[in-house]
Structure 1
Amino acid sequence: MKRRFLLKAAATLPFAFAGVTTAAPLRRRVRPGDPLWPSAAAWGDLKRSVGGRLVRLDAPFAGCAAGADAPSCAAALARLKNGFEMGDQPNFTHTSGWLDAWSSQPSAYAVAARTPADVVAAVNFARTHDLRLVVKGGGHSYQGTSDAPDSLLVWTRHMNDVRLEPAFVARNCGTAPQPAVTVGAGAMWIDAYDAVTTRAGRYVQGGGCTTVGVAGLVQSGGFGSFSKRYGTAAAGLLEAEVVTADGQVRIANACTNADLFWALKGGGGGSVGIVTRLTLRTRELPATFGAVFCKVRAADDAAFRALVGKLVEFYARDLFNPHWGEQIGIHGDNTVDVSMVFQDLDEAAASRTWAPLLDWLRAHPGYSFEKPFQVLALPARHMWDAAFFREHAPGFMVADPRPGAPAHHVIWKGDTDQEGWFIHGYKSAWLPAGLLDPTRQAGLADALFQASRHWSVGLHFNKGLAGAPQADIDAARATATNPAVLDAFALAIIAGGDGPRFPGMPGGAVDTVRGRARAQAIGRAMDALLAVAPRAGAYVSESDYFQADWQDAFWGANYPRLAQVKRKYDPDGLFFVRHGVGSEAWSEDGFTRNA
C-alpha cells in the first residue's frame, strides 16, 4: 500500500479519534475457559430469549473419532454430496479450508435466528460478554469468514422468506413505486430466482451458484452470469434491514441511513452490521437466455499462442457487449475451454456471432475440437426452472435428493465440484478494458499464454462491467465496490485445490508439499498476468487469503469512506471479518486488539 493511502485510511479507523476522549477500548475478546466466559446460566438466559434456538456446536466430523463406520460419521460424509444439506448444518461450511491459512472449525454456539429480535439478542449478548461474533447465511466464504472457533455464530439460514413487491417504495423516500423482491438474509439465490423468474417472469441480478446466500453476495458486490447486462447485485439493492452493533434494528436505503446503505452495497459482509432483510430491484426478462460450449486443442505451443491471440481479438470485436458473459478457460495443456452464456439472442444469432472464430479454426491446421461447438437457447423464464430442466436437459442441474426438499432446490452440475473443497491457492485480478485496444491485444495474449504455462487462467467476462449499459455502470459506481470493476472487461481467476479436507474427516489428510507447490504455481501464473495489469484490483469474495494491500485491492478509493461508516456504526469493533473494513485494529483471528 502506498504510504499516502495508508495514512488516509488510518485517519478513519475506528480507534482514531483525534482530540476526543473515549472509554478504554476492549483489548481482548474472551474464549471458553477464560474467567469472563459466560456462565451456563447466562447461556441459558440467551437460549430462553431466542425461543430455545441456541445450539451448542461440535465439529462436523467429531463423531468420526469412533471410526468411519460410526453413524454420525457416515451421516457427515454423506452430507458432502449435497450442498443443500451442508448448508442446513450450522457447523458446516461450503469450503473446508485453505492451505497454511485456515481450517473450518465451528463456533462454540449458534443462534439459529428466525427473527430480527433473535439477531438483536445475539448481538447484545456478544457485546455484553466481549465475545467474538460470526455471521453465516450461505456459508460459501473462501476466506473462512463463515465460522470461527470459540465464537458465537448468528446463523440466518431459517430467515429465508421471499416476497414479491409489485410496487415497492423505500421507506421515507418519495420515489415512484417499482417492482422488487424482498428476501430474508438466509435465502439462497435459487429461492429468489424461483420466485422472481420461474413464477413471476421477471429478473433479479444475483449470483451464478444457486446455493450462495443472497445477503452475503449483495454485501460483497455480487456478480452473476448476466452482470454484463444487468450490473451488480449490490447496485440493485433498494433497502435493507440491519442490526447494528448497538443492538438497534435499522432501515437503510437512499433516504434513511444512507451512509450505512452505501456501505452494505459492496463493502463486505459482516463488517458494519448483520443484515436481516433485503429488497432488490427486479427487471424485465429478455426473450432468451442461452449458452455456448466447446473445447479446442492446439497441436503445439506455437499454435496455442496463435489461438490465444485470436481469442483476444475475437472477444474484443464480437463478444465485448452486454449479450455475453461467463468464462473461457486457458489451460496449460494447450486447450481452450469455452463455457459462455448469452441473453436476448436466439441460437441462430449466437451461432453467427461465433462463425468467424470457427471459420478461422477450420481454415488453419493444428486445431481439433475435444468438445464440439454447441449452442443452446431457452425461454428466459426457464433459466432456473427445475421442472423444465428435468424434462428437457436432465444433465445440467442436480436436485436436492432428500425427501420433502423443495422442488426448486437445484444446483448447476458444474458447481457441485466445489462442495467442501480445500483451497491451495486462489487469486483474482480485474483486467482493464484498455488491454483490448488493438495496440495492446498482443501483450495481453502473450501474458495469458505465459500465465498458462504455470496454471490455468479463467477469464470471467461477466465480472467486469466494461461493455455493460451505461446506466448499469453508473449504478455500480454508486456502490462501495472497487471502482476498478467499472473499467474492467473481465475478472481473471487463477485457482486450485483438492476435495474436502475437514478436520477429523476420514481420508482428509492434507498433502502440504503438493499443495504448496500448486500454490506457488498459481502465484507465478498471476505474476505473469499482472505484468500487463500491474495495479489490478481483486474481487473481495474471490481473492487471495494472503492479498497484500487488501484495502486498496478490494475497495480502492472507497476504503477511507467505508472506514468512516465502520467508525460510526461499530466504534468498538464488535463485527470482525479478517481483511474486512476496520480489521486492521485486530489480530488475525479477531480476538486481540492491536496496540
Structure 2
Amino acid sequence: MAYGMLVAGLLSLAVAASSQNVAQRVSSNSVSGMPLFPSETLQLTDEALSRLAKDQRAWFEFGSNGSVSAARSLWPSENIWELFDWVLGTGSLIKTVPLATVCYPSEPDYDSAKCEEITDNWTNSYLHAADPASIMWPLFEGRTCLPTNQNVTADCTLGGYSSYAVNVSHVAQIQLAVNFARLANLRLVVKNTGHDFSGKSTGAGALGIWTHNLKEMEYYENYRGSGYQGPALKMGAGVQAFDVYAKARELGLTAIGGEGKTVGVAGGYVLGGGHSPMSSIYGLAADQVLALEVVLANGRFVTVTEETDPDLFWALCGGGGGTYGVVTSVISRLRPKVGVTLSKFSFATSPNVSADTFWAGIRSYMQRFPTYADAGTYAYFWVLPTGPGAFEFLMNPFFGVNHTLDEFNALVKPWFDDLKALGIPFTPNSTYFPDFYDAWAAGFPLETVASSTMLTGSRLFPRANWEDESKFNATFAALRSTITAGHPLLAFNMKVDLPEGSPENSANPAWRKTLMHAITSTTWNTTTPNAEIKQIMDTFTYDTLGQWRATCPDAGAYMSESDVLEPNFEQAFYGSNYDRLYKLKQRYDPTGLFYAVTAVGSENWQVKSLDGLPDQNGRLCRI
C-alpha cells in the first residue's frame, strides 16, 4: 500500500512538471549514410532517464544482460500504467478495445449502426491495418470478439489481442515500451499491419508496439553503402505497398514491395524475405536492404548495416519479424522504371471441356514455369474446385515485367496454342503499361482477409521438380489431388535468385531454388466444435500438405504465408540458416523478449490456448 501511494505521489509530481521530458533530441547523423528521420532523433537516452525520479526510472532502464527482476512478477498496477502513459506522452498508450465490441449488447459501446459498418468491412484489410491491435486473421487471436448481426447474449472478450498498445510516433516510445516490457516481465508483440498468416502480432496479455504510423520516406539519388551506389529510399516501418509504389512512380523509379496493397513493406514483410511482382528479376525485398534502424531487446537504438554489424544485418534480412528487435526504418535499393504487360483471363470445365481436358490445359501451363520465370515474369493464379469434377482457372494476373505486348504474346503463344488445340475457350485481356505502378494498381485485387473458418498452408516447389519428369509428374499429381479433394490453389510462378551485388542474407534458402510458391487451405463451419476443428487442421497439415512435402522434402515454405502447424518449422521456414539464426537470437535477445509463433527461438516457449487451437489466446510459458 505504501509503495502504491509513493508511486502515485511521484506520478502526480511528474505530471505537474510539464516541462520535464523523458525523451531527448539527438543528432540526425547516422552511420547508414542517410540522416535519421525526425521520429528517430527523439530518443530515450541515459541523460533523459536521469530526469526521472529513481522509483520511476526503475521501470524504464536499459538492459545489460536482459535479466528480468523477480520483483516484477505481478501485473503492473493502474498507477504504473498511468506512469507509462505519461512517459510515452499522454494518450499514446491505448487500452485495447476489439473492433467488434459495438456488436455486443453487453458492451458499453454497443452501437448497432457501427456494428453494421464493421460487419460490412470486416474482410477489408484497411480496417484491420488501421487498428492498434486487430489482425488480419482472427483465428489466431482466438475468435473471441467477431462481428455479428445476431441478437447475442455472449460477451465480447479481449482474448488473444494485446491488452495495451503504444501508438508509436517516435523512437523513444519504442525504447520505453521495450524496457518496460522487459522489466515488468510482460509479453511484447509488434504490429505494423497484422498481415502475417499466423497472427505473430497478437498475444494475450501483451503490450503491443504499433508502428503503423511511422510513414516517413526520404529519397537519395546517389546512395553509397553496403557495396551499392545508386538510388535508394529510406522508409519508416509503417510505410505500406501503396505508399512506396506511389513514391517510386513520382520519382520515375520502381520499388520492391508486396503484391498486396496494404502490406507493410518495412515491417515483417521485408524481415521475413518478402516476394514481389519483381522477384523474377530482383529477388526478395530482403535482398534490397542497405541499412536498418532498430531498437534492440536492451532498449538501445542502433543502425545496422553490413559493415557495422554483419551478423545482425544478415539475421534481420530474412530471419523473420518480431525476433531480433523493433525496426523503425529500412533503407532499400530502388530500381529503374519498367514497363509491364498485364494479362487477365480464365477458363473452366463445361459440357464441352472435360475435367481431363481442363487439366491438360493446366499441365501445359505448369510445364512452362521455368521459361516464364527465366523471362522475368510473375504470375498470380488460382485453380478452384467448383463442384464434382468441375474446375476453374483464374489468371489474376500474369505480370509480364519488361515485356511489350508483342513480346508477351510471343512468350505465351505456345501455351495459348495448346489451349486452343484442346478446345478450351478463353479470352485474354492483355494491356501494356509503361510504369510498374499502373500495372500493379490495375492487376492485383485488394486482399480479402479476416476469415475465422480457414487454415492456410504453403510450399516452395523447387526448379528440380521441373527438371526431372518423374518429379514433375508427382508434383502435378499432388496438386491435382489437392484441388480435386476440394481445396483451392493460389500460386505464384516466379524465380527468386539473389541479385548480383546484394550480400548474402538469412532468407529461406528454399527461395533461391523455387519456381512456384503455392498456397492452399481448409475450412470448417462457424458451428464446428473446437475438437473437430483441430482434427481438420491436423488432417490438412499432415495429409493434404504432406502430399506436397513428399514431392520436395528438402524444400520449404514461406514463413509469412504458411501453416502455423507446419512440422519442423525450423527447417521449413529457415532451412540451413536456422542454427546460426538461433545463436544470434541468444546473443541479441537472451531472455526471449521478442516472441512470435514459429519465429526463431519460439520452440523454447508454449502458448496454452483456451480453446485448444493454435492461437495466441493463452498464457505464454517457457518450456
Give the TM-score range, shorter chain.
0.7 to 0.9
Q: How many correspondences in the alignment?
A: 523
Query: Distance between the aligned counterparts of 1:510 and 1:524, measured in 2?
Result: 20
Query: Distance between the aligned counterparts of 2:67 and 2:357, measured in 1?
Result: 62
Q: Equivalent residue of 2:99, what SS?
A: coil
Q: Equivalent residue of 1:331, what SS?
A: strand
User: Which range moved further: 443-452 or 220-229?
Assistant: 443-452
Cα deviation for residue 29 of structure 1 reads 12
Query: Distance between the aligned counterparts of 2:476 and 2:606, measured in 1?
Result: 41
Q: Do structure 1's residue 461 and structure 2's residue 461 form an aligned pair?
A: no
Q: Do structure 1's residue 229 and structure 2's residue 281 form an aligned pair?
A: yes
What is the TM-score when the length of structure 2 is the normalising length?
Answer: 0.77
User: 1:438/1:534 Cα in 2 relative to 1: closer, same or farther (>3 Å)?
Assistant: closer
Gaps of 5+ in 2: 1-63, 146-158, 608-615
Q: Do structure 1's residue 415 and structure 2's residue 470 form an aligned pair?
A: no
Q: Do structure 1's residue 355 and structure 2's residue 413 form an aligned pair?
A: yes
Q: Do structure 1's residue 480 and structure 2's residue 515 form an aligned pair?
A: no
User: 1:338/1:522 Cα in 2 relative to 1: closer, same or farther (>3 Å)?
Assistant: farther
Q: Equivalent residue of 2:490, what SS?
A: strand
Q: Kindly provide the amino acid, as one letter, of the partner of residue 233 in structure 2.
A: V
Q: Do structure 1's residue 202 and structure 2's residue 253 form an aligned pair?
A: yes
Q: Equivalent residue of 1:421, what SS?
A: coil
Q: Would the aligned equivalents of 2:541 and 2:563 in 1 still touch at CA under 8 Å?
A: no
Q: Kindly provide the amino acid, as one letter, of the partner of residue 488 in structure 1.
A: T
Q: Kindly provide the amino acid, as one letter, of the partner of residue 603 in structure 2.
A: E
> Of residues 31, 35, 47 in structure 1, which corresponds to 2:85?
47
Q: Kindly provide the amino acid, as one letter, of the partner of residue 260 in structure 2.
A: C
Q: Equivalent residue of 2:292, what SS?
A: strand
Partner residue of 2:194? Answer: 139
Cα deviation for residue 343 of structure 1 reads 0.6
Residues 509-545 of structure 1 show CA distances to partners (whole Å, capped at 9, x for unaligned) of 6676996686546764433333322333011001111
The 5-angstrom pairing of residues 29-428 of structure 1 reads: 36-52=74-90, 53-66=92-105, 69-80=111-122, 82-98=124-140, 105-170=160-225, 175=227, 177-196=229-248, 198-214=249-265, 215-297=267-349, 299-316=353-370, 318-332=371-385, 333-339=390-396, 340-365=398-423, 367-369=424-426, 372-383=427-438, 412=444, 414-418=445-449, 420-428=450-458
Residues 219-268 of structure 1 show CA distances to partners (whole Å, capped at 9, x for unaligned) of 01001122111110001111000000111001111011221111111111
Query: Distance between the aligned counterparts of 2:528 and 2:97, measured in 1?
Result: 21
Query: Distance between the aligned counterparts of 2:228 and 2:142, measured in 1?
Result: 51
Gaps of 5+ in 1: 1-21, 390-395, 397-411, 502-507
Q: Would the aligned equivalents of 1:294 and 1:374 in 2 still touch at CA under 8 Å?
A: no
Partner residue of 1:541? Answer: 560
Q: Equivalent residue of 1:275, what SS?
A: strand
Cα deviation for residue 289 of structure 1 reads 4.6
Q: Would the aligned equivalents of 2:93 and 2:165 in 1 still touch at CA under 8 Å?
A: yes
Query: Distance between the aligned counterparts of 2:272 and 2:446, measured in 1?
Result: 20
Partner residue of 2:474? Answer: 443
Query: Distance between the aligned counterparts of 1:43 and 1:69, measured in 2?
Result: 29
Q: Equivalent residue of 2:209, what SS?
A: strand
Query: Distance between the aligned counterparts of 1:594 and 1:94, measured in 2?
Result: 27
Query: Distance between the aligned counterparts of 1:24 and 1:243, measured in 2?
Result: 14
Q: Equivalent residue of 1:123, what SS?
A: helix
User: 1:334/1:76 Cα in 2 relative to 1: closer, same or farther (>3 Å)?
Assistant: closer
The 5-angstrom pairing of residues 456-535 of structure 1 reads: 456-462=488-494, 464-465=495-496, 468=497, 471=499, 475=502, 478-497=504-523, 519=537, 520=539, 524-535=543-554
Cα deviation for residue 40 of structure 1 reads 1.7
Identity %: 25
Q: Would the aligned equivalents of 1:453 and 1:525 in 2 still touch at CA under 8 Å?
A: no
Query: Distance between the aligned counterparts of 1:117 and 1:304, measured in 2?
Result: 58
Cα deviation for residue 554 of structure 1 reads 0.5
Q: Would the aligned equivalents of 2:363 and 2:476 in 1 still touch at CA under 8 Å?
A: yes
Query: Distance between the aligned counterparts of 1:483 and 1:304, measured in 2?
Result: 34
Q: Equivalent residue of 1:91, what SS?
A: coil
Q: Would the aligned equivalents of 1:60 and 1:91 in 2 still touch at CA under 8 Å?
A: no
Partner residue of 1:393? Answer: none
Query: Distance between the aligned counterparts of 1:380 and 1:60, measured in 2?
Result: 38
What is the TM-score when the length of structure 1 is the normalising length?
Answer: 0.80
Cα deviation for residue 338 of structure 1 reads 2.2
Tell me which of the two structures has the higher relative contact order, counting C-alpha pairs closer than 8 angstroms and 6 or more residues apart.
1
Cα deviation for residue 285 of structure 1 reads 1.7
User: 1:124/1:100 Cα in 2 relative to 1: closer, same or farther (>3 Å)?
Assistant: closer
User: 1:482/1:381 Cα in 2 relative to 1: closer, same or farther (>3 Å)?
Assistant: closer
Query: Distance between the aligned counterparts of 1:29 and 1:557, measured in 2?
Result: 40
User: 1:100/1:187 Cα in 2 relative to 1: closer, same or farther (>3 Å)?
Assistant: closer
Cα deviation for residue 292 of structure 1 reads 3.9
Query: Distance between the aligned counterparts of 1:491 and 1:176, measured in 2?
Result: 29
Query: Distance between the aligned counterparts of 1:581 and 1:425, measured in 2?
Result: 22
Query: Distance between the aligned counterparts of 1:567 and 1:206, measured in 2?
Result: 30
Query: Distance between the aligned counterparts of 2:302 and 2:491, measured in 1?
Result: 39
Q: Kindly provide the amino acid, as one letter, of the partner of residue 311 in structure 2.
A: D
